[in-house]
Amino acid sequence: MSRIAWCALLLILPACANIGTMGQTADVATTAVGLSQGLAEANPAALPLIPAKVAMTGMARRMDDPEECREATQGLSLAGFGAAGWNLAMLAGVSTGGAGLLALGTMALLWRPAYFGAVNSCQQGPELPPGVKAAEASPFREAS
């Protein structure tokens, strides 16, 4: 199976997740495929950022304000899918200029789906116990 086909398969697997998680998963998965194919990671902070990506995606779902949740989720989604577009271009042997155009094109193409996916994800609300508000569940809240 070609590298591009493997990447496409990896992009389909997280379909049950929210759109923010899907974008970040696409970035991590295509980076892993690239590393396994002998490509080097250009961003030295990429591996340490994986836990931060997980935390930010989870925090976005727990925002009380649906509009803030939508903006954060859409932003995480587009950043992840844009990076995945770059990674796919690198796997295909495209120049960095072409990869940049593909990353921007991916983000532009997915702008509306990311918006509606984020709206849907944020309308479902955070998965918290009954009676607990998102601000109370935040690890960044002030101690009382």
Angle at 16 between CA 74 and CA 48, to 5 degrees: 60
Q: What are the residues whose beta carbons fall under 8 Å from the beta carbon of 21, sequence distance 6 or more?
A: 14, 57
Please report the pLDDT score of residue 15 as a whole number.
47
- Kindly state the average pLDDT of the residues 113-119: 84
Measured distance CA(58)–CA(102) in Å, rounded: 27
Taking the whole predicted model, whether its pTM rises above 0.85 is answered as no
Residue 41 — very low, low, confident or very high, per pLDDT cuts 50/70/90? confident
75, amino acid identity: G
- Res. 56: pLDDT tops 60: yes
List pLDDT tens digits, range 16-30. 457 777 888 888 888
Q: Write down the residue that tokens 């577009």 correspond to.
A: 85
Rounded CA-CA distance 73/129 in Å is 21
Which residue type occupies 133? K
User: Nearest 10 degrees: CA dihedral of 80, 85, 91, 93?
Assistant: -140
